[in-house]
Structure 1
Amino acid sequence: MVMWFRDPGRAEDALPHYFSILEGEEAPNFLNAKKIGVNFRRKQPLEELWKLHREGMERLRENDLEEKPEKNLLDLKATIANKLLESCTLCEIKCRVNRKESIGYCRVKESLVASDFLHYGEEPELVPSYTVFFSGCNFRCVFCQNWDISQYRVGVELPPEFMAIKIEEAFKRGAKNVNFVGGEPTPNLPFILETLRHVSAPIPVVWNSNMYMSEEAMALLDGVVDVYLGDFKWGNDDCAIRYSRVPFYREIVTRNFLLAKGHYRAEFLIRHLVVPNHLECCTRPVLEWIAGNLGKRVRVNVMFQYRPEYRAMGYDEIARTLEGEEMEKAARIVEELGLRNALVG
């Protein structure tokens, strides 16, 4: 297999906020959100809570912090997220199931943790990463390598307070970040926000996602996420429908990357999995969009780890691993576009 890597040290050019947290120079975003006082009642109408949220975010951006307010912006975010479960619109499928009573399209009702551990297989700047795998997903990727948790309800239900203790313990053991993944973390956003309310450790939050969140979910993530570890899978909607069963993929995912670009002190680490026979329809347009819209300094991981898992053998065009020529071509595209902080391999 061709292995072609740029210098991992370049990550500091793309992720200065993240590295400042690791060095103790800045606080993770969620801890600053806890220092924004917000006076609200949990039974207030959702429209009123969103108005208070907008005001709180403005104060966060103005650095209008106070120590230990009675109620804070993170509390408000958790309250709004919990209300959204009653007619779920956390992702762009927008199934509107009352997930307090039933399982949504994502196969999630209550959040189930399939596994959690210090992960050493992520990008160099992330490891060791305390990775929390949730079951369930809003995608139906035919080649999913985590299909055993993404397509089924497995795992254990943990109280948010206990999950917070586990995050604190992982931080003491040397975790550089808490990495919420799946499956997909989006259906579990209420649980994640409630968990972070109980975390005091200065640990960066990594949102390891397919980036198919709704605008409401994006607003709640603003001021919480330090690094968007986002997948950018497909360069067009036809491939997204055929292999992941998601409509309007390119419009929604590019919108969310642009929204995240404007989020409070948020940074990117974008993954693109190179799929056989999809260099021109997906790899090239994905990387062109990233270079043109997020800049050539953004951290990108162009990955060659594709293997035909789950149901991929039913699709002849992707029923194999990458060929050396495809790897070389992907590497050339990265070079041509001048993505200077890329990992390829």
Structure 2
Amino acid sequence: MENKIIRIGIVGYGNLGRGAELAIEKQSDMTLVGIFTRRAPSDVQPVFTNTHVYAYEELSQYQDKIDVLILCGGSASDLPQMSPELVTMYNIVDSFDNHAKIVDHLHHVQEAATKSGKVGVISVGWDPGLFSMNRVLGEIVIPDGGTHTFWGEGLSQGHSEAVRRVTGVKHAVQYTVPIEDVLEKAREGIGADLSAADRHKRVCYVVADEKDYERIEQEIKTMPDYFAPYETTVHFISEAQFLKDHQKMKHGGFVIRSGNTSSENKQAYEFSLALDSNPKFTASVLVAYARAAFKLNQFGETGAKTAFDIPLSFLSPNPEKI
């Protein structure tokens, strides 16, 4: 396959889009064609002064100028519509992270991408994505055992975005917090049958109209796939406190596989992340998979792909060094 500079478009410019702009700048084999936004382009201020900003409605005009679109919308309402729509014109990569609906999302993107002859890489980031890969590796290497996944303590972009979609909410963040004694037991091989809700609690900090507190709290706690049935605490705070204490976006977590390779040998496999910036790390993963989407399509591949379908060599700008 001929080496060429991969031309990238970013769709959406929140924290994730900004992270993608920064990550593309570090790639020797990529160039950023521009950012596409549903806001007024003049209202978007990119990191780099030479980055072009276009209206979302202009996307259809750039099909011969862009190789891959990185979709930086939210999983609650943006990506379910955006990914199948845009893969009819472009190779795409998204970070859809609603685990309960990934299979449905895969099918929708598969149908559209197969018809268009494009590649749609979905649900890549660190979970789903890197954590998914490490869960599978642990289970392959230690078949007699149990897998434990913990997220946090950290800010969840997808869950925070879901809270912000609740009517009456002005600002919100949600932190996922591992239950400490359950984490320690996992390292000893105890508790593999526990659900994610048994291993974590969710803590929300919300700025909203005071008269809506009761309704908003109830909507958050009963939100399917995101908060029900987790132990969830909602704190209503002032805008000043929110801006002072809740601007950092640290995150991380653990994948632990523990078990036995023989009756006398107990084994443990652990993969962990400690992230200063969740969106900037997730964006770096998306950029790597954008390279893979381009290479796959160059080799004639089409349809929807997940992290399980892509060779590691396709993620690297220097596969000969792997």
Alignment TM-score > 0.5, same fold: no
Q: What TM-score does the superposition give when structure 2 sets the normalisation length?
A: 0.27
Q: Which has the larger radius of gyration?
A: 2
Between the two structures, name the one with larger relative contact order (CA 8 Å, sep ≥ 6). Answer: 2
